[in-house]
Amino acid sequence: MTETEAIAYDVVVLGAGPVGENVADRTRAAGLSTAVVESELVGGECSYWACMPSKALLRPVIAQADARRLPGLAEAVRGPLDTSAVLARRDGFASHWKDDGQVGWLEGVGADLYRGRGRLAGPRTVTVTASDGTVTTLTARQAVVVATGTRARLPGLPGLAEVEPWTSREATSAQQAPGSLIVVGGGVVATEMATAWQALGSRVTLLVRGERLLGRMEPFAGELVAKALTEAGADIRTHTSVASVTRENGKVVAVTDGGERIEADEILFATGRAPQTDDIGLDTVDLEPGGWLEVDDTLRVPDTDWLYAVGDVNGRALLTHQGKYQARIAGAAIAARAAGVPLQDEPWGAHAATADHYAVPQVVFTDPEAAAVGLSLAEAEEAGHRVRAVDVDFGSVAGASLYGDDYTGRARMVVDLEEGILRGVTFVGPGAGELVHSGTVAVAGRVPLDRLWHVVPPFPTLGEVWLRLLEAYRDN
């Protein structure tokens, strides 16, 4: 092992995913020298094994489903998808798992990249161990930012490692469709990958521990997605857990808690995420390895004046767009503190990640799409708000009918009866993902309902559902 002399920067960022990249972009724009440490591909999970490849897999599936709802086009798209072509296009969106372009971008903003395993080695200090054993020590005058993200969480089933199960990484990068696939889980990854691989030729069995899919969204979201998956040929089994799993004669055999044996070519465990903090040296700064890193609204770790944790690793909102939002806030806070500028303390200031608390948007890219922002009805009631849910079927919206003769969808807004604002909005239906930003503006901006009456949706679009929701609220 060869050690080199310590190199000083203003900011050292651990992790070069979208979150780490955005921190570096902001600190460099503020004139702070910045080093970025990455042990895998620059661009991170989102670019190569999550957001981009998964949506590249799903887009042809959704486009075909939309086309099959349209008379005059439906007959032309009755055949199966060209799986090889879909996978080839997916490979392109994942840059064929090469990060040259992302490295070029990082160099373009003036950040220095260090490849290797980065670990804290005391306050303001990071060591980077390269593949050849060389150890470089970096020190940070202003801040160290942990942006190491999360990894798939696997259950503690005996012999699971020998089975070589899929996680989200294998599910988004597989080079052929398995003949049959067991998907364990009922959340976003489970439903999206079940949607994709069922359409690409796999026979999918979905094992859900709870009573429904998408348990964190409004109940009707999971119900409509389950209905569509079932109609597409997937076998969904709720209230079902996996008790054991083995691989026999090349096949995966999952035994449920009810004693049923289910065989498949592959098994995907989409059972949650865990923070990648177990081996980054947290013990050297008196923090517990392996857990989520608590932060304040400037994304700084309490009781430190130099350590920040941004993105999935802090557990506030495990979504790329929220992580990038946090990165912008953290970058601004680091730059302000470095310059000795007092941080803005108003709720809408540039140095506080307040949206994480009440205005987090999410889209599940299934067929139909499920999109939501803010609190569900149950969450709002649990938080103590006096609220009312208003529901509308998309069948009453002229713009929805243009999507096809059998458009199925539903919208809900959760109204705070005391403040006259929205606590949450959910849309489910083809194209619903494009509606959620309007909901995000309404929730984050605390737009009063009497002002929403004057936000006129164009006709005929899906956005006219807003008018239907307001009318339903007025009339009931």
pLDDT in tens, 238-291: 999 999 999 999 999 999 999 999 999 999 999 999 999 999 999 999 999 999
Q: How many domains in the chain?
A: 3
- Strand ranges of the sheet holding 235-237, from the earlier edge strand across to the other edge: 235-237, 203-207, 180-184, 266-269
Clarify whether residues 108 and 143 are in a common domain.
yes
Confidence of residue 421 (pLDDT cuts 50, 70, 90): very high
405 and 462 belong to one structural domain: yes
20 in a structural domain: yes
Is 191 in contact with 212 (CB distance < 8 Å)? no
Amino acid identity for residue 206 in this structure: L
Together in a domain, 299 and 386: no
Judge if 460 and 421 occupy the same domain: yes
CB 148, CB 126: distance < 8 Å: no
Token digits for 266? 């592959």
Residue 72 lies in a domain: no
**In whole angstroms, how far apart are CA 326 and each of 7, 16, 32, 315?**
27, 15, 18, 12
Bond before 460 cis per omega within 30 degrees: yes
269 token code pair? 């465990």
C-alpha distances out from residue 264 to 19, 152, 157, 186, Å:
36, 21, 18, 18
- Measured between alpha carbons, how far is 226 from 207 in angstroms, rounded to an integer? 12
The arithmetic mean of pLDDT across residues 90-99, rounded, is: 98
Query: Which secondary structure element, helix H or strand E, spans residue 428, and what is its range?
Result: strand 421-428
Start-end of H helices in 74-163: 83-93, 100-108, 160-163
Q: How far is CA 201 from CA 96, 185, 186, 270, 424, in A?
A: 23, 20, 20, 20, 37
Per DSSP bridges, beta strands 203-207 and 180-184 are parallel
Per the domain annotation, does 98 fall within a domain?
yes
Mean pLDDT, residues 94-119: 97
**CATH code for the domain of 424:** 3.30.390.30
Give the pLDDT confidence score for residue 335 in this predicted structure.
96
Cross-sheet strand order for the sheet of 361-364: 361-364, 370-374, 421-428, 410-416, 387-393
Q: Tell me the pLDDT tens digit for each residue of 209-227.
A: 999 999 999 999 999 999 9
Same-domain status, 329 and 347: yes
111 or 349, higher pLDDT: 111
**DSSP per residue over 10-26, as a string?**
EEEEE--SHHHHHHHHH
- The reported pTM is 0.95
> How many helices (DSSP H) and strands (DSSP E) are in the chain?
16, 21
* Whether residues 129 and 230 fall in one domain: no
What does the pLDDT read at residue 4? 67
The model's pLDDT over 335-355, given as tens digits with 9 standing for 90+, comes to 999 999 888 665 567 898 999
Is 87 inside a domain boundary? no
Q: Give the model's pLDDT for residue 2.
A: 63
- At 347, is the secondary structure helix, strand, or coil? coil
Q: Would you place residue 5 in the very low, low, confident or very high pLDDT band (cuts 50, 70, 90)?
A: confident
Which of 252, 270, 288 represents a domain boundary (last residue)? 270
Spell out where 62-147 has E strands: 112-115, 117-120, 125-129, 135-146
Give yes or no for a contact between 245 and 275, defined as CB atoms under 8 angstroms apart.
no
Contact 425, 412 (CB under 8 A): yes
Are 126 and 20 contained in the same domain?
yes
Asked if residue 213 is part of any domain, the answer here is: yes
Strand segments (E) across 290-417:
307-309, 361-364, 370-374, 387-393, 410-416
Average pLDDT, the chain: 96
pLDDT band at 100, cuts 50/70/90?
very high
Decide: helix, strand or coil at residue 51.
helix
Residue 270 near residue 190, CB atoms below 8 Å: yes
Rounded alpha-carbon distances, angstroms, from residue 228 to 15, 150, 204, 233, 369: 38, 30, 13, 9, 11
Residues 349 and 213 in one domain: no
DSSP annotation of 458: P
Give me the pLDDT at residue 406, please.
82
Contact 367, 198 (CB under 8 A): no
Residues 144-169: tens digit of each pLDDT: 999 999 999 999 998 899 999 999 99
Q: Domain range for residue 447?
A: 368-475
End residue of a domain, out of 331, 355, 379:
355
> Does residue 161 form part of some domain?
no
pLDDT tens digits, 23-67: 999 999 999 999 999 999 999 999 999 999 999 999 999 999 999
Whether 305 shows a pLDDT value over 80: the answer reads yes
Contacts of 460 (CB under 8 A, 6+ apart): 398, 399, 401, 402
Domain boundary among 233, 251, 270: 270
Among 434, 464, 460, 459, smallest CA distance to 370 is for 434
What pLDDT score does 348 carry? 62
Give the pLDDT of residue 346. Answer: 58
Q: Which residues of 42-62 are buried (b: 16+ CB within 10 A; e: fewer)?
A: bbbbbbbbbbbbbbbbbbbbb
221 and 328: one domain? no
- Does the residue 126 lie in any domain? yes
Residues 386 and 456 reside in one and the same domain: yes
Phi-psi region for residue 448, left (φ > 0), alpha (ψ -120 to 50) or beta?
beta
147 part of a folded domain: yes
Q: Are residues 32 and 113 in the same domain?
A: yes
CATH number at residue 244: 3.50.50.60
Q: Which 3 state secondary structure label does DSSP give 56?
A: helix
- Is a pLDDT exceeding 60 seen at residue 436? yes
User: Both 146 and 11 in a single domain?
Assistant: yes
- Please report how many Cα atoms fall inside a 13 Å half-sphere around the Cα of residue 216, on the Cβ side: 17
**458, burial (CB in 10 Å: exposed 0-12, middle 13-18, buried 19+):** exposed
